[in-house]
Each structure stands twice: as C-alpha cells, then as structure tokens.
Structure 1
Amino acid sequence: MAEQVRTAGRAREGRRRAAGAVLAALLCAAGCSAPADRAPDTTARDIRAVLDRRAAAVLHHDAAAYAAVVDPDATALRSAQRREIARLADVPLGSWTYRLTDVSAHGGDRVTADVRLGYRIEGYDSAPVSVDRTVELARDPGDGRWYITADRAADGSARQLWEQGDVEVVRGKHSLVLGVGRPRAELEAVAGTADEAVPAVSAAWPEPWAGRVVVLVPDSVKEMGELLGSPAANYKGIAAVTTGETGGSGKSPADRVIVNPEAYSLLGGFGQRVVLTHETTHVATRKNTSSATPTWLSEGFADWAAYRDQDRTAEEIAPELADAVRAGDGPAALPEDEDFAFAGDAGRLAKAYEGGWLACELIADRWGEEKLFAFYRAVGAHHGRDGAVEDALHEVLGTTPQDFTARWRVYLRNRLG
C-alpha cells in the first residue's frame, strides 16, 4: 500500500482545525492604545508605558531593558525573561506591540492586565500574529513604578515557540523555518521541501498570494499541542496543521504551518512534499476561504493541489475509500465537517480527506481546472454556509447538489472500483 499522508488545514465552522490555537483578532493599533475600564486612567497609562518599553526592548534585542520592567525582587522571573529574549535573537521581527484590553485592580498596588501581543516576521507576515496574554503587575511603594510579576498565556490561548526553547532559524528561498530542539539539518530539509511546495501551489492556484510560508517545528508532538492550545493526543498521527483566519478581508493574521516532527519524520520524501504542499495551499487560498466553505472543499482542494503533478493512482492516494467502494460500502453523500475531526475515527478521517480530494478531481476532470478555481472562489465569497455550495454548483458548474453527488458516487466507482 502506498505511503499515505494525514494532514490538516484550518479550523472551520463546527470543528477546530488548529484546535485552541486559532489566532486572535488582528492587532489594529500600535503600542497599547486600547482603554482599560476597571482601573484608574493613570494606572492604565502607566501600564501601557511599561509594556511599550518592553516592546521596544524586544525589537532592539535589549535583554537588560526587557528584564528591567520585571519586579526587582522576582529574580527567577528576571532570569527567565532574559532567557526568553535571548531565544528570539535570530527571529527577524518586523514589529512587536502590546495592546492593553482590560485591567483588574487588586487593591491599590497590584493589578492583572489582559494584553494582546502582536508580532510580525519581517519579509513574511503582511499582518501580525496576535495572541492573548495575562500580565500581573505590582507598584513599588518606593519609586511608584509598576513592575511585571507574572506573564503567561491567557486562558484558552496557546504558548509561543520561544517559550519552549532556543529558536533556530533557517531561511529558504520561499520559506522561513523556526525550530526548537530539532537538529539544524532536519530544519534545513523542511525548508527545502517547503521551497518545493510554494511554486507547486502557485502553479495549482491562479490567485495572487504571498508566495512564501513560515513553518514552525517544535521538539515533539507534545510541544506541538502546546503551540495549538490543545491536547497532544489530537495530533499524534497528524504530520502538520496550518493556523490562520479565513476570510477575504485581506486583514487576517499571518498563517503558520506547524509540523509534528514525530509523524512527519515517518514519511518519505514524497509524503513530506505532499504534506507541505497541502498546508501551503491553505496559506495561498486563505483569503478565498470563509465560513461558507465546507471542509470537504477546502481540504479536498488542498489535497488536489498537493497530488496534482504527482505520479500516483487514485487507489494509491485513496486506499481507505477504495476498500469501501470495492466492498460495496461507498459513501452516499459528500463528507460532513465533523468527519474531519482529528480526535475521531482514523478510518473515517482518511475517507473524508479522500472523498474531498475526489470531489475536486471530478470538477477538474469534468468541467476543467478553471471551473474548479471559480467554484472555490464562488463558495468562499457566499454570505454564509446556507446555499453556498448549491448556488456555486448552479452558477459555475450548471448542476445541482443532487446531480453532483450522483456524479461523484459514479466517479468513485470508476476511479476506485
């Protein structure tokens, strides 16, 4: 049986594509400009100043200034903060900002601040990644200044790569690979494969896109789960996922492809190329993917792009579905979103991906690739899920859901039977 790839893309309505790690809303203002409602204006102003100094220290790689805003008595925290900024030394940061969203006072000299960190990688991110943090501060009665006493991911938010260890940076022709705890040779190999994926995606998707990708490689599936804010067990057999926000506004935060080094390393060169091409397709199609896009289409198209120029038969690409079709147990309908759940049945997940791929194959074979592109765009541009596929089938392909499903079932039998 041919080597099979189990990959995943973005969270869509009704499932968690990047689990708890779906990135927070776009940072709209530099610095710490948002009001805080539950503390005096002077306190909020002073805390903004502390956070602004901290942001400047990151961009200037000034470890002393970064630690200077930490409580002088918190020696362990100060040491940890120095290590943290050192881990960022090689990351090409274009911006780093904090936005204060709320302050809760605990007496006159202690507060808890809700903060949105936004950072952008120079040359790769057109918009910042935003993550929510919880920062505790105390005011020194001697000098009256506020100092940080704790800084952690907010409830429900994910950890960041630099919190896991020293970040190794590898620059590819079309990629930037950031890794922690993995051999540099391995990261260079990932960059080489990502560099092959980017032009393959550009050839398979006609819309303009950045033409570059950022790949994160944590040390293990456990650390991968931390980056995604979800149990590692959800990703044990998943080679990679892509994070980001869907929508056509052009303002969605930057995507990250996160590799599970344990599953990815088990794949051969072909499988690794398919994985990163699949995930890079999600990056490229992001602005044309929305909550109206069913998972079978987004994942099926990503697989279609990944396998488009590969010399593999349908049975080799879709073995689970082939077995079902030959046993007379082929699906009666296109896969539902819940069929793509990571934590669900592995066979069901495989057949969902394979069914989505063959649906896109059918469109490309029967109506042509240009119609497949137009169909994808039309579904994503629809206002809401209801009617999105039905309207696009009618307007772009001149068919109905019932007719398309019937054609798809025949196509499965012809390709896999």
Structure 2
Amino acid sequence: MTGWRAWAPDVAVGSVVLLVGLLEVVDLRNPEWYVDDPRPALTLLVLGIASAAALARQLPAVALALVWAIGAMQVITGTQLLMVELAIAVVAFGTARWGSTATVLVSALSIPVAATITVLWIDPGVFYSALSTAGFESLVDRTARWSDRWQVTAAVLGMSVLGVPWLAGLAVRFSTRAQQSHASQVVAEAERDQAEEIARLREEQARLARDVHDVVGHSLAVILAQAESAQYLPDADAQALKRTMDNIATTARSSLDDIRQVLASTGGSAGPRPSSTDLDSLVEGVRASGHEVQSTEFGTPQPLPPELGAVAFRVLQEMLTNALKHGRRGEPVRVERHWEGELRIEVQNVVEPGTDETQPLTTARPGGAQAGGGQGLEGMRRRLESVGGRLDVRRRPDPPTFTATAWLPVRSR
C-alpha cells in the first residue's frame, strides 16, 4: 500500500476520535458560542487528540510529542479534562508497537510522569495530605479526603489504563519480531536446502561427465588402435581382418552398454558397479586391440566395496586410455597392481619425445592436427580424493616414459 491508501485506516481512527470528541464538547441544544465559552479551547483539544490518534501508526514519535504538547497546553490554559482523552491509549499502543527504541522508552516513562502531573494539576495538595505525618488528620479522615476527590481518582485510573494498551503494543511488537525471525529462518533453511540441492546436482552432473568421458574415451582409443592396426594386415588375410572388425564391434557394444549403465545410474536405478575382477577385462580389452600389455599383480587380491571398485575401474580405464593415445606403438604397456594394505595401481608406457601426457586427452595427429580436449588427470584425481585415495604422475626422460600411480584404500571411508 502506498500513498493515501496507506493512511486510510489512520484517517478513519482519527475521524472517529474527532467525532466522539465533538459530540462531547458541543452542546447540541445550545449551539451558540459566547466569548467566555470554553468550548473553542475544548474543540482545539479534541482536534489535537484526534490528530495524535491518526499519527500513532505512521509517525508514533510525532504522535507522542503532540500528546505532550496538548497536555502542556491543557495545564497552562486550565482546560478541563475530557473523556475523549482516553483515546490517548491509541497513541500508547502505537508507540510501543511501531515506535523506535527511543520512542518506546520515552512512552514508557511518559505514562507515570503524565499521571503524576495530572494529579498534581487537579489537586496539588493531595500528595501532601496523603503523606502527611503531622497527626492532625486520622487515617479515616485522609481516606475520606482521597475518595472525595473523584477527579483525582478518574485521572489516576485514566493514566493507569494507558499502561494496558502500551503493554499490548509491546507484546504485539515482540510477537511480530518472533514471527519475522521464524519466517527468515525458514527462508534461510529453504535457501540452504536449495543450495545443497544445486550443489548435489552439479556434483552429479560432474560425475556423469567424468563417467561418460572415461567410457567413451577408452572405447574410442581401443577402437582407434584396432582400426589403425588393421591397416598393417596383409590384404589376403581376411580372417585377421574379420577378427579385428569383430573386436571393434565388441568394444563398441561394450561401450554402449557402459553408457547405458551410466545414464541409468542418474535416475537412481544403477546397474551392477564394476568390481576388482573387472580390472582384468580392461587389460584384456587393450590386448585385443593389438597392444602388448604386461600385467602383474602382487599380494592377495581383496574384494572391494562397490564404490571403491567403481573408482578403481574408472581410474585404470583412464590410465590405459592415456597409454593407448600417447604410448609409442610397438612398446608394451606395463600394468601393476599391488595389494599391500591398500590397492596401488601403476601404469607405465613409453612415449614419444616431447609428448605432454599431463594433457591426456589432447592427442597429436599426423599433420599437426589436435584431437580431443578434456580433463583426464583431473577427473582421476577427483575420483580418488572422493574415496580417500591419491594420484601421482611422473615423467622420466631416458627412456621417455610416463608413469601414473593411484592409491586406493581397500575399505571405503
């Protein structure tokens, strides 16, 4: 709400107070006013009270100041008390509910101070008579003296009534703040849950990208190696060519099955994860492509939990992919698996001089063309770190070899 609509409830309250006050002040049976008639001053008093009531919500500090100004004017001019002044309770509520901290404190002090001033203004001797210890009046006489002053009693009760709406305004103030705090907490929790869900989805997206990268990169490397080896087969050896094409089809089919499994895992219906026994299938797949692989296993193999088996499979898959892409043709790829409290996988291959295998998916092609452009080593490192493992890559100049070593805990964290 903006403009006059925001002030509509306040104007309505002020109008009601003004109407009630005018009905109290104006004698409808004798509407003529005389010079010594007190009603003009009373009318001004009513206007001030109505204005203060209208300002209580939007400008509580101004409303409080206006009440004090009206009170001071009433004391100075000796204007009589009116019942409509009970509308000051609206100001008391407004200052406690919508006022600033300073306004709340000033309004709290204003209630007893105003009550004291009002009583002293009506009868300055009332406190003297109540506190007198001279013994000239008995307790009964002093009680009668107090009860006779109905104006004092009415003033004290009127000021006391202001405390009730003031406390009500303060209670509503704290209740509203508590509700706002709770709402803010709910919003913060919702935002945190949303951020966690976004982070989870991004991590799932990154995991899916790494899996697809590993599967496609490995299968394409094997298929490429098989296709290139077919170029060196004798033209008359149709059986060898047929075996090569069959290996290519088998590799492509296996890759397609892996891709389907990876995509199914994003929907929560993942198939069986790779295990430690599947590592041998990776080695055999590279051998089938025509590359020599020297595989050695030390220690006693142990069953790996599903999450560790999947990481070991993907890491060895990426290592062999890099070896196929960058390794020198005709040189063997050495694969070692050590079971010594933890699983250590090491893959070593001879590379051409000047080959930078730290960018494992950027492959030099004849004629200077470049293929690929991924994050193989970074993907392996993230996979290993997610299960408490680590990765080390080293290059030796003589002979130029590249060694990738991965450590995995035998048990998941």
Range of TM-score over shorter length: under 0.3
More helix by share: 2
Give the TM-score of the pair, scaled to structure 2: 0.19
Higher relative contact order (CA 8 A, sep 6+): 1
Give the TM-score of the pair, scaled to structure 1: 0.19
More strand by share: 1
